[in-house]
C-alpha cells in the first residue's frame, strides 16, 4: 500500500433541515411594550442604551444605502408608568431649560456690563466739561 492509496477525505455530517420558527415563537422573543405608552420597554438603563445604539446604527446603515429613516431617538428615560426604560427623540427639557436660563443670565450680565460702560463714558464726559 502506497501513500497515494490512502483515502484522506473525511465524511461530512448529513445536512440537518433547519426547522422554521412559528410566528408565536418569534413573537415571544420580541421586547415587551409599555401598556400605557405603547413604546418598547427595556428592563434597565443598560438595555435601553444598547437598544438606542442599535437603533442609531441601523438608521445610519439605512441612510448610507440611500434610503431615509424616521428613527431619531437621542436619549433614554425611565417610564413612570411601567418602571421600565424607553428611548425618545425628544431632548431632555430640563437640560434645554437650564441652557436657556444660562443664556438669559449671560445676556443680563452683558447688558449690565454695557450699561456700566455707558455710565462710565457719561461720567467721564461730564467730568471734562
Domain residue limits, the chain: 28-90, 93-129
* Distance (Å, whole) CA 42 – CA 49: 9
Q: pTM score > 0.75 for this model?
A: no
Quick one: pLDDT at residue 20?
Answer: 65
- Report d(CA 41, CA 32) in Å as an integer: 5
Residue 129: strand, helix, or coil: coil
Strand partners, 16: none
pLDDT beneath 50, residues of the chain: none
Predicted pLDDT at 30: 77
pLDDT of residue 25: 57
Give the CA count within 13 Å in the CB-facing half-sphere of 71: 17
Instruction: Quick: pLDDT tens for 47-65.
Output: 999 999 999 999 999 999 9
Give the per-residue pLDDT at 81: 93
**Cell 455710565 maps to which residue?**
119
51 φ/ψ angles, rounded to the nearest 5 degrees: -65, -40
Q: What was the pLDDT predicted at 12?
A: 67
What distance in Å separates the CA atoms of residue 123 and residue 91, rounded to the nearest whole number?
47
Residue 61 has which C-alpha cell? 446603515
Amino acid at each position: 500500500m502506497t501513500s497515494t492509496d490512502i483515502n484522506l477525505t473525511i465524511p461530512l455530517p448529513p445536512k440537518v433541515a433547519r426547522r422554521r420558527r412559528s410566528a408565536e415563537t418569534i413573537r415571544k422573543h420580541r421586547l415587551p411594550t409599555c401598556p400605557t405608552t405603547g413604546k418598547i420597554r427595556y428592563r434597565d438603563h443598560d438595555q435601553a442604551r444598547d437598544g438606542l445604539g442599535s437603533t442609531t446604527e441601523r438608521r445610519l446603515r439605512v441612510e448610507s444605502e440611500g434610503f431615509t429613516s424616521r428613527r431619531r431617538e437621542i436619549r433614554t428615560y425611565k417610564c413612570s408608568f411601567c418602571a421600565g426604560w424607553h428611548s425618545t427623540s425628544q431632548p431632555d427639557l430640563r437640560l434645554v431649560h437650564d441652557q436657556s436660563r444660562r443664556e438669559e443670565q449671560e445676556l443680563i450680565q452683558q447688558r449690565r456690563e454695557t450699561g456700566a460702560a455707558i455710565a462710565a463714558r457719561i461720567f467721564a464726559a461730564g467730568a471734562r466739561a
